[in-house]
Structure 1
């Protein structure tokens, strides 16, 4: 399936050019949140979205039903739509759809409870609250705004949500059920949605130098850094995209999925490998064809170790170049599988492969990987994108350029 448009509101920037520059130069979007520090978070680190104004994108009536990350998803989709050369009128049909990955709308639920306490009557909460607090708030709002008439639903599968959204869009187009889909992922960036994670001790404590806190695959990694935003991709049937003269940025040629069937929070050591093998088979490729892996690696001891084992199972001694963009962005959670598509496409478009910053030395498992520690001037040509989530859900995508 042809990628004809991409967009993102990221901690690396709110325009594709800014994001590409950050990826190329290894610039981190992570900082300390003073409010989290004041609230005695074990780790006040977070990805920070800068210079994004919701009012520039939508009016007051529309914003009433949309939390921050839904507005960011709309902005990312508008960016992608503009790049694709499609008009909004091109979406007003049964063959155009929306699929996003998102697994929570925490802040909206909290806000409506606070409004009830403040106003003392449920009728005074406001009509927009119910739509803001639903996990499907992204696709229900975007469906209304873009007036698509095909698929319109949200996939909820923890940190693989964005990857599965792109994969399901690919599958629906390949099966002939849709001609084009705006797919992606969105994740809220606020302390309220992260306090329970913080209580688990899952976050990095490298607060002295926030830019060095996220250390995927590194021996001294000590936890992830929460992050978020939104990413959007326009996927189209290849023949239709060519016929209308669209610039094709890349192709999604394979999608594989699996589940570990084991522990709720500890990742398995063969699930990603099975999903990757499925994705490669569908793309008609072998492991030796892949020249880049955009890793899921979130900078946790267990997660990165398990992913290393999966990669080595699939690729054995033919390990391609690997980097985790989470070294710069932190873990974008529900958004991350989709943002990997955007970031990898940007790498190819701007002629480089992004580094895995903060990697100095591997451990017993990760030292066997071919980690990119500096920007490579060779862009990815055939890439495997890994994403995984709580409950042992795995998604792998193959991108070709």
Structure 2
């Protein structure tokens, strides 16, 4: 089995447009959540969202390539550019080697709605535009980035609800471990326009704390009242150890465990058994004991039942008050299809810098979160192994274990 390492990371999120900005936000507990007033004009119950602007790519890509990119594709492009640069992978390497791409994405709503609006109004499908199809398919990110970066290896999209980004990294890990690929661009992307989350708002899934956006996302807090939608793009470059060593690449961390499961239960209400089995599989796959894990970046989205059941699952596997548990969603909101990848970037940056970011807005525990070791302030601590959870609609669960690299 090949060892699988991380040689590059990139991020574009509401708490930073690059790794340096993100580290500062994580360390200082800065929220990226705000209000989108346009949502109220369209009848939304909640205007809360992660706030980030679309990048200007005019100096980076030609008009045709920009026209083919969806919103989340733009975020993914910026994140992937940063990750490839850190990995030391240039155009020449990409042309001479079979580098793949696996990216998490489970919707591309805005271009679909715009196309339908044009057809209904103009009664002429030709006016939809040549870029519409490439923006509207679920595989929009992988199809575009594979062309832009001339990727010639594995190429498809992982569609697994809010575990999409995590499963993309997990599947990349398995492919490299088995020897089928040597390097894969992995990640997740999520659009943040209002169209993408209208159905969530209709289900009253969002927090209503519009008077204080920074306090709206409250993972594990007894008084949480719903998630805050967010998004962006996050990329990690996975590579076999032999490939990284051959290139003389700097190794940031090593992927050592991947666990997954399906709840086999309610389509939107999570249970305890599924997440618990995902955690246990990740530990078995990594050949670790629960006591080997120093930090857990929880899925916890700030929903009443989801946080409760995840806390119960963590306690059943790891016991009470150990290890440290936080949800970076307290700062970012729920980045959905992107979250499983962005939280690997966040957690790896924290492991690299020697701190654990605070779980914001955790003021009063409930019956389950009171059993967890949840810091509300930044913890200065060295840790060498962490686990990241991602769960999604349909009962899909993913758990990844990452450690500091030792030759």
TM-score (normalizing by structure 1): 0.98
Unaligned 5+ residue runs, structure 1?
A: none
Could you tell me how far 1:56 is from its partner in structure 2? 4.1
Preserved CA contact (<8 Å) 2:49 2:229: yes
Who is 1:141 aligned against? 144
Who is 1:202 aligned against? 205
Alignment of 1:166-185 (within 5 A): 166-185=169-188
Who is 1:243 aligned against? 246
Aligned equivalent of 2:48, options 21, 28, 45? 45
Preserved CA contact (<8 Å) 2:321 2:373: no
Could you tell me how far 1:108 is from its partner in structure 2? 0.9
Give the 4+ runs in structure 1 shifted more than 6 A: none
Could you tell me how far 1:329 is from its partner in structure 2? 0.2
Could you tell me how far 1:119 is from its partner in structure 2? 3.4
Who is 1:365 aligned against? 368
Preserved CA contact (<8 Å) 2:54 2:75: no
Aligned equivalent of 2:103, options 100, 110, 114? 100
Could you tell me how far 1:40 is from its partner in structure 2? 2.7
Distance of 1:78 and 1:234 partners within structure 2: 11
Alignment of 1:219-368 (within 5 A): 219-317=222-320, 319-368=322-371
Aligned pairs, number: 401
Who is 2:393 aligned against? 390
Q: 1:138 to 1:369 in 2, by over 3 A?
A: same
Unaligned 5+ residue runs, structure 2?
A: none
TM-score (normalizing by structure 2): 0.96
1:295-319 C-alpha deviation (Å, 9 max, x unpaired): 0000000100010011011112362
Who is 1:213 aligned against? 216
Distance of 1:84 and 1:223 partners within structure 2: 37
1:48-96 C-alpha deviation (Å, 9 max, x unpaired): 1147323343222111111111011011001000000111222235631
Distance of 1:359 and 1:218 partners within structure 2: 5
SS of match in other structure, 1:275: helix
Preserved CA contact (<8 Å) 1:100 1:153: yes
1:200-256 C-alpha deviation (Å, 9 max, x unpaired): 010001111100000000011000000000100000001221232111111111101
Aligned equivalent of 2:84, options 77, 81, 86? 81
Q: 1:379 to 1:52 in 2, by over 3 A?
A: farther
Matched, 1:132 2:171: no
SS of match in other structure, 1:70: helix
Preserved CA contact (<8 Å) 1:95 1:177: no
SS of match in other structure, 2:380: coil
Q: 1:302 to 1:374 in 2, by over 3 A?
A: same
Matched, 1:375 2:367: no
Could you tell me how far 1:98 is from its partner in structure 2? 0.1
Distance of 2:60 and 2:329 partners within structure 1: 27
After TM superposition, the structure 1 stretch with the greater mean CA deviation from structure 2, 83-92 or 284-293, is: 83-92
Distance of 2:78 and 2:85 partners within structure 1: 11
1:297-345 C-alpha deviation (Å, 9 max, x unpaired): 0000010001001101111236200110000000000000000111011
Preserved CA contact (<8 Å) 2:321 2:372: no
Distance of 1:43 and 1:355 partners within structure 2: 25
Who is 1:156 aligned against? 159
